[in-house]
Amino acid sequence: MNVTKQLYQLQEIDLELESNEQAVNQIASQLGESQAVLKTQTELKLEQQRLEELKREQHSAEWELDDFIIKLTTAEKKLYGGNIKNPKELTNLQHEIDGLKTKRNQLEDKALELIERVELTETSVASLSSQLKQLETEWHQQQQELSSRMEQIQTILSDLKYKRQLLLARIDLQAVELYHELQKQKGTAVAKIEQGICLGCRISLPTTDLQKARSDNPVQCSSCGRILFLA
């Protein structure tokens, strides 16, 4: 087989290897923990903690309200029980009852506000829980697909590397060294010729270069230095 054609095939394999290795790196960057899942987990945990605190506040307010209701009921029984005859004591007791009623009203308002906040937070927790479940389901599915794709690409890479080794063993060593040197310098070492033009630099080739490119030995473009391949 023509050495230049072998080098062109080697380059095609190298380009496939590079493309698949990039795909592996991209998949590898997507495997692992999901930032969206972690963020939602954090938000849910904070909201659950907030709900617990609100419920504690609610229970505390309800207990305090119950305590004042008992005090108020006791005071009203004393006021209307008929056992207290002294006007001053009755007046003082009435003031105490008025104060207890004011405090009771304040505690009732606070308890109602806390009930509303608890309900809103429970709704938020339920919404975040549902969102997290969906995100985790999607993430697990994505991870499975990525892992499967990774395995496929690894198999392709293994096959390409084997083909490359077989091909390298058949190519002249000096030609391979030239190929690798040009590859480092220019990215692509071999340029096809189409309609008398080097596709590496897009310049029309002299007749002498075109004639040399038909030989078995590698010929470099007089303009860009790449190995010319005439299909």
Q: How many residues does the chain have?
A: 231
Q: What is the pLDDT of residue 182?
A: 96
d(CA 119, CA 122): 5
Q: Is 179 exposed, middle or buried (0-12, 13-18, 19+ CB in 10 A)?
A: buried
d(CA 162, CA 158): 6
- Stretches where the chain sits below pLDDT 70 are 1, 79, 82, 84, 90
**Which residues are paired to 204 by β-bridges?**
197
d(CA 163, CA 184): 21
Top-level class of domain 31-168: mainly alpha
Q: Where exactly are the structural domains of the chain? A: 31-168, 173-229
Reported as a single tens digit per residue, the pLDDT across 59-95 is 999 998 988 888 888 877 776 776 767 778 767 778 8
Going by C-beta distance under 8 Å and a sequence separation of 6 or more, which residues neighbour residue 150? 24, 27, 28, 31
